[in-house]
A and B are shown apart, each in its own frame.
Chain A
Amino acid sequence: MEAFTTHTGRAVPLRRSNVDTDQIIPAHWLKKVTRDGFEDGLFEAWRKDENFILNRPERQGATVLVAGPDFGTGSSREHAVWALQNYGFKAVISSRFADIFRGNSLKNGLLTVVLEQKIVEALQELTENDPQAEITVDLQTREVRAEGVTASFELDENSRWRLLNGLDDISITLQNEADIATYEAKRPSHKPQTLKV
């Protein structure tokens, strides 16, 4: 996973609540068997409208998505995270994220930042009025900074450590191989098995 320390970039304010993962990346894109090449599928249906904010020339190259509440609801598809990253987003700010989407984002180095709705709205207003306005998402200080806005955000220390160092979960878990083997040895015999091995 790519490490995340701090990022500064222009923003796309997306004033929609309940943006589900079917909107982020429609199902027909999920037939691909790679982790890349999803950028053209990002918000595919909405991008057919030339006035959709992602299509505006002044938003090209923006890297921070400032979204409405309940972002990433629905399907567990990690493709939603890959699509945002493939497109160029480094961070998403919202007042609430769906649990599975949030978990997926943090495992891929896409920082999902939870801020109070009124701060999210302040950031949306700022970047709507000034498309050149930049937002800094600083994981080291756990702070979001923009003109007139300084807000701290929470992220548990373990997730933060993994992100700052770009650590791979599987390698960390396999350091506890002995614990896994001990647990396996005492599992009851009535537990289901798919195969006799």
Chain B
Amino acid sequence: MRLLTTISLAATVCFSGCDVIDNPVIDLGIGYRGEALVPEFSLLTGGPRHVLIEDFTAHECGNCPPAAVVAEALAEGGGGLVHAIAVHAGPLAAVQDAPFDTDWTCEEAELWWSQLGIQVNPIGRVNRRGGSGASLPPTVWEAEMEAALIEPANLHLQGLAVEDGDDVHVHVHGSFSAAVEGEVRLAVVVLESGLVGAQLNYASDPEVLTDYEFNHMLRGSVSGGDGLPWIADASAGDVLQSDYSMVWNPDWSIENCHLLAIATASDGEVLAVLELPWAE
């Protein structure tokens, strides 16, 4: 009986202590499945640096609408080189009683929020300069953007987004004009504009606006917020292309959406960012 008890206890420990994984590869379901051949891109060996401005915002953040104005103005004045994302995350973005009963957050937004060194709304990152934890108040976004714009671009992106029934195909082409140490990751995220909902705004009267228009809102991604590994220790002249297919979320109005390709270095800084044009 004692031996039996001993063996039973040991067996319990053994069976519960092993995660045998026959095939550890996780199928993300984003392999290219379009019928059309993937597009070919001509080699791009130079070009200006693009800049990503991430505006961490929330519907119950009364100081956020002025920050959104700053981000949108910088993007509009950036001549196509500056890309803004409104990232709804943090406690003030939580679903509350009406009128703040819409969930504008997503997994990618929460991931990016978790990376911030200072978690407060409004706060932002500009090309994630200083690493993914660096967070900047809106007052310095412009200066940071100007500093980022004059940095040399080591990676040059081209791309295309193709609507195909329930799917959207994404093609991203990259060429390196200088070596980049460490792992480069590629994220493709979905942004939506023209969304209407409630927003607290201390600068308006009344402070609660029920028809506030949200633009460039982060809705999701093809690749996860951190993106997928793309290349390690890239050398000048390296060229690569990734082709993905995603099942489009019907909650997203495709005519109001655009996709951003974001390539990041191993320290989290944005190497390159590009708004993918929709195929005609």
Q: Do A and B come from one complex?
A: no
A residues with a Cβ closer than 8 A to B are none
